[in-house]
Structure 1
């Protein structure tokens, strides 16, 4: 049987692409969304049609009870938890001066703070799981600032904190055989109708300054995550892997 996998922020975009990439016969998935139940249910139905066992959950990750409830649901539904993809997040664009403290607090609540709660609840289960893996979805904004004259200070700070927690966890869980890594996408094309903090014209300008001359697709990120979840990645831990078409080289 495939390891039991929890994916946060799975209704659309990168999260949904990861679920589709690792779904299939024998897959056991817990898929989370903050509020987009229609898209999450449609995805779950499609995965079940392909033979996967899927449990869906809805909850605000900024609420203290949500992350532990996701882990508890995995145990109740499948009897364990071996892989976590922490994907849920929120982009917030602003200049410092316009950025409010509550914007920073909101970014931290849904990203590093939620990740900490999730890992705290999951630790005993990851330590006993075979081939346990954790992948946190970070962003280029934790490494490149002012790309295409756009600033994301709240998201930049939150994603940098997320990476620091993941690296710490990689050291702590290394002796237990658990690999913990981050994937940092560049600009990724959104699903039709999806929320974005970046205007479409700015996205297209960014594609032109990216060495690969295109925006990323959710499937590009999903391929890297699928590898990091696999047995073939057993000697990769504590890393942030950029999947950005060379954006940070520009």
Structure 2
């Protein structure tokens, strides 16, 4: 598909779900990948083994990417392992459904910390490395719930706000980092079949409603997102920066 041979990447929150799909997609195109996890060590090590079977190098690094000190430690370990960082995929995220009148300050702070602050911290730590290399790809995972496209998700005010911030951050940093050879883009998934959306499949009414909106008549798969991220990480995407690519099975068109 795209030749990423020799590139080195960090994918945050990549022990399962979309992050795992992204890590495997990058590895299949020749990238060595750091698998970041917060608590799922066993799952992270399993992804490392999958990548090694593909023929690429990999390492699992534990870090809560909403904490500056842990991000800096992860970056230092990555540079020690690989010598450079070419691609950063900010994927770590959470979504907890809760009506606004039940939403607590703790809920808000935790969601913004993991979904948005973590991206700021990772870019802050890694952009200087990419600037010295005069080449880099930063890919932030947003959502079709990011706002501005007429899509809202009930009981997810905190999540929607965090993902809207991701898109705004992406567009602004694309302007600041372009002169250093760094592309900054976002990928906005629709409803992807992962642990995070597992409950949807238990309710026929939810699935019926989703299928009425999704033109492809299926939930997305992690590999759907991985393929787009691999493209954005490649030289073929050199002329794309500051963009948000919606990977939603036609949700917005429907």
- When the two structures are superposed, what TM-score results if normalisation uses the length of structure 2? 0.90
Q: Find the aligned partners of 2:78 and 2:173 in 1 and give their Cα distance.
A: 21
State which of 239, 242, 245 in structure 2 corresponds to 1:238.
Answer: 242
SS in 2 for 1:136: strand
* Worse overlay, 128-137 or 21-30: 21-30
Cα 1:203–1:59 change in 2 (3 A) is farther
Q: Find the aligned partners of 2:198 and 2:157 in 1 and give their Cα distance.
A: 13
Name the residue aligned to 1:199.
200
Aligned residue pairs total: 245
Structure 2 unaligned regions, length at least 5: none
Name the residue aligned to 1:153.
157
Q: Find the aligned partners of 2:168 and 2:62 in 1 and give their Cα distance.
A: 27
Using the TM superposition, give the Cα deviation of residue 51 of structure 1 relative to its aligned residue in structure 2, in angstroms. Answer: 1.6
Using the TM superposition, give the Cα deviation of residue 24 of structure 1 relative to its aligned residue in structure 2, in angstroms. Answer: 4.3
Do the aligned partners of 1:185 and 1:244 also contact (CA within 8 Å) in 2? Answer: yes
Q: Kindly provide the CA deviation profile for residues 78-100 of structure 1, in whole angstroms up to 9, marking residues without a partner as x.
A: 11111100001001222221211
Name the residue aligned to 2:96.
92
Do the aligned partners of 1:131 and 1:231 also contact (CA within 8 Å) in 2? Answer: no
Using the TM superposition, give the Cα deviation of residue 195 of structure 1 relative to its aligned residue in structure 2, in angstroms. Answer: 4.0
Q: Find the aligned partners of 1:130 and 1:20 in 2 and give their Cα distance.
A: 26
Cα 1:128–1:39 change in 2 (3 A) is same
SS in 1 for 2:66: coil
Using the TM superposition, give the Cα deviation of residue 142 of structure 1 relative to its aligned residue in structure 2, in angstroms. Answer: 1.1
Structure 1 unaligned regions, length at least 5: none
SS in 2 for 1:151: coil
SS in 1 for 2:19: helix
- When the two structures are superposed, what TM-score results if normalisation uses the length of structure 1? 0.91
